[in-house]
Chain A
């Protein structure tokens, strides 16, 4: 039986986090991160993950104030977590557009050293000028170039990691040789980066940190097939998951890779109850806590591209036509593309079920969720994985920092009994947890692809 890979994410900036719950703690205090990470480690998860956003979202020209906002720099937090965990993988999103390979490679190599081989990197490609305003070079990247830059960025980073070979640190005091000749020497000459010199940081314990990709476009899938170890997918229905799984795994052979070399894990959440009815009731409550009247209108405005503040959230969807090209919300990746199509879907949903604005938003934006008793959730997770709709899951609980407790205390033991989740870690590194081979050297990889 396939083993289920489990990851956990501290919920970040979106309306799914229920900050109004009395049990909701700080989103910024280190205690919160430590609590969630320790819980994930207790559940023998593969890794803990932090997302990234480099500018506060704005809606109608003003900072969006309804959702949890404010986050620390992920790699700094993960380095601190490395000191209070022993096996848990530690992964972060680091954008390839607003960074430079030399810095990112040394920071990830550092995290890998500090954690003894537990680092992972979600290479994302958001490129927008809005975010770019926080950086010297501004929003200079065309959307079409973002994956070519990302692919070259990753290649440059791998070149830097490969610049120190295993065993280059001799530390031979009696012979007076600290390192081998040429250790750290590198050169990368490409379209986006033209860099050469000496890299500061010895080879990471994993060789290369685990590479994660989160994106769904054609280019994104190809990038992942060529270069990633893990995909955070959005596809979390059985049907959609299987189609995505087949598509992406089918692309691997072209790059000389096996299907097992790339793990597909959709992000999901869960609502647990002692009975199915109780779970369903809690799920309904959760939806209402996540989407208050103000949030319902804000999300509707973002989609419609119109001010709809005079609409009643408990009334019907607006009759007004959307303006799918008008941008009311910035820094929000979900409402970038395909808005006309999304509006059509929301209208259909509302008409078919007679839903109000708020009910429509709840139904349409709910994060894919396992709802049920512990047994039902364990069985559903297992069915997903055994039928190749996924290799595992990233759980994003809606409560910080206790949101993972019930999953780890009640569902994980069932998975362990079923023999589909480890009772103990078998290796020290994140690559070990994911069952990945050692990384292929940069020089043995095909040339950087132009992802057009």
Chain B
């Protein structure tokens, strides 16, 4: 039986907007290091491949495209890269994958931030670049405007993508520039050559001279090449334009199928995007499915919990991803079925923390292990190693 990969997406007190009101939730602590340390240690006990940390340049909102003034849901967050960095010394194997925007932040800063996370974690950093799609967030910078999505746009991911096409074009450039900066130091650039007094071999440091439509960076980076060479890039995608971003620039794409047939369709769309951007067939691009999960051992209990959470929130919870409420055994069945459709792994979004995370680590993982479908110990020290991705040679490195 082939194994599958498992990641969890950590966000606030869980993905359900009423999760902060659950017994066991720690809403007053979400801005403390200890809260996150407890969660990521639990994820590492479960031998998960990585955790992602969500982020945005504006507060959370119930509406996809607009800010809101609600005070009955959790609002506020910490910078995801820094939060991930604070988790690095407390863990030893699990990958740490922060989300950052690529619309307002300088590629130079993004590059050094993720590279530094990789250095601090000794090769366990990943990155989830994301465009900043809320127009209101642009006013936090005051330098430019970005498109304001309308209610009509929201009906279809393709309509959204069409409106945001320019931001995706810019994202391609930013991700490309970041990768070039990671490569701008060859792995062995530091020589400490005492006879000549040279600390570095300047021939192994490269200006990148990147000049796109939106972005210019001279380079080289100030940060030596990260331990993984390039930390894995992961992209969440729901439509053709983001599939192309993933196909062109990512190591891993998160899809949101709602059925096995949906998974087949989305994987085919990713394949088409691969062809369109000319990605070589041998170049691995892992596909994960995102699922919101509510897990309880007793049949029916998770569904009842979801209804109760919805009642508390006063609205039925909806998500881009499938919402799964059931037993860990049922979820194992579903994951293995989707795995057979061609997915490499899953990013589970716990609806309630720590409840659904603990259910993943203490019930789902053992269930998958029993079926021979999940690791029983960490087999590698880097995130690339866990994902089975090779360490890339630098673009300027001499060919062996």
Which A residues are within 8 Å of any B CB, using their own CB? 19-20, 28-30, 34, 53-56, 62-73, 75-77, 79-80, 82-84, 98-100, 102-103, 106-107, 109-111, 113-116, 133-136, 138, 164, 169, 171, 173-174, 176-184, 193-202, 292-295
Contacts and interface: CB of A to CB of B under 8 A. Distances in A.
A293 B197 contact: yes
Q: Which 9 pairs from chain A and chain B are nearest by CB?
A: A72-B116, A76-B116, A133-B218, A73-B112, A171-B28, A79-B82, A79-B85, A171-B27, A110-B79
A380 B290 CA distance: 63
A389 to B, nearest CB: 34
Interface stretch (B188-196, B351-359, B370-378): B188-196
Nearest to B25: A173
B195 to A, nearest CB: 10
B223 A113 contact: no
Q: Interface SS of chain A: helix, strand, loop or mixed? A: loop
Contacts of A100: 104, 141, 143
Contact of B33 (A83, A99, A133): A83
Nearest to A174: B21
A179 B120 contact: no
B105 A103 contact: yes
A294 B202 CA distance: 15
B20 interface: yes
B28 A114 contact: no
A198 B58 contact: yes
6 contacts: A55-B222, A110-B83, A113-B78, A134-B217, A196-B139, A196-B140
Contact of A169 (B28, B81, B201): B28
Nearest to B75: A179
Nearest to B21: A173
A431 B90 CA distance: 26
B87 interface: yes
Contact of A295 (B69, B119, B143, B197): B197
B32 interface: yes
Contact of B198 (A65, A76, A116): A65
B71 interface: yes
A184 B59 CA distance: 9
Interface of B: 20-22, 25, 27-28, 31-33, 37, 56-59, 67, 69, 71-79, 81-83, 85-90, 104-109, 112-113, 115-117, 119-122, 136-137, 139-143, 185, 189-190, 192, 194, 196-202, 205, 214-220, 222-224, 312
Given A69-B200, A193-B142, A294-B197, A135 B108 contact: yes
Contacts of A77: 85, 116, 120
Contacts of B220: 56, 63
Contacts of A84: 89
A72 B72 contact: no
Given A80-B89, A180-B71, A66 B198 contact: yes
Contacts of A68: 199
A163 to B, nearest CB: 11
B104 A171 contact: no
A103 B104 contact: yes
Contact of A113 (B32, B113, B189): B32
A31 to B, nearest CB: 9
B71 A134 contact: no
Given A70-B222, A107-B82, A173-B21, A178 B74 contact: yes
A169 B108 contact: no
A80 B98 CA distance: 14
B75 A184 contact: yes
A197 B136 contact: yes
Nearest to B198: A65
A28 B117 CA distance: 11
A226 B197 CA distance: 44
A53 to B, nearest CB: 6
A76 B194 contact: no
Nearest to B111: A73
Nearest to B33: A114
A19 B223 contact: no
A80 B88 contact: yes
B33 A171 contact: no
Contact of B199 (A69, A103, A138): A69
Given A76-B85, A77-B120, 12 more contacts: A34-B89, A63-B202, A70-B200, A76-B82, A80-B120, A82-B33, A99-B109, A114-B82, A169-B28, A178-B74, A184-B59, A198-B59
Contacts of B72: 176-178
B71 to A, nearest CB: 5
A200 B140 CA distance: 10
Contacts of A293: 197
B73 A178 contact: yes
A164 B59 CA distance: 12
B194 to A, nearest CB: 5
B205 A66 contact: no
Contacts of B59: 184, 198-200
A110 B86 CA distance: 10
A169 B31 contact: yes
Contacts of A202: 31, 76
Contacts of A196: 139-140, 142
A73 B113 contact: yes
Contacts of B74: 178
A164 B31 CA distance: 13
A179 B73 CA distance: 8
A110 B89 contact: no
A136 B395 CA distance: 23
A177 B143 CA distance: 34
Contact of B67 (A56, A103, A133, A198): A198
Contacts of B222: 53-56, 69-71
A443 to B, nearest CB: 20
Nearest to B207: A63
Which one of A73, A103, A133, A135 has the greatest number of beta carbons of chain B within 10 Å?
A73
Nearest to B18: A176
A54 B78 CA distance: 24
A72 B105 contact: no
B67 A201 contact: no
Contacts of A199: 59, 140
A136 B106 contact: yes
Choose among B76, B105, B115, B218 the residue with the greatest number of A CB atoms under 10 Å from its CB.
B76
A35 B134 CA distance: 42
Contacts of B81: 76
B145 to A, nearest CB: 12
Contacts of A169: 28, 31, 76
A293 B197 CA distance: 9
B192 A20 contact: yes
Contacts of B89: 30, 34, 80, 83-84
A277 B250 CA distance: 61
Nearest to B87: A83
Given A76-B120, A195-B142, A20 B194 contact: yes
B88 A83 contact: yes
B37 to A, nearest CB: 7
Nearest to A177: B71
Give the interface centre of B197, B198, B215, B217 by most chain A CB atoms within 10 Å: B197
B116 A113 contact: no
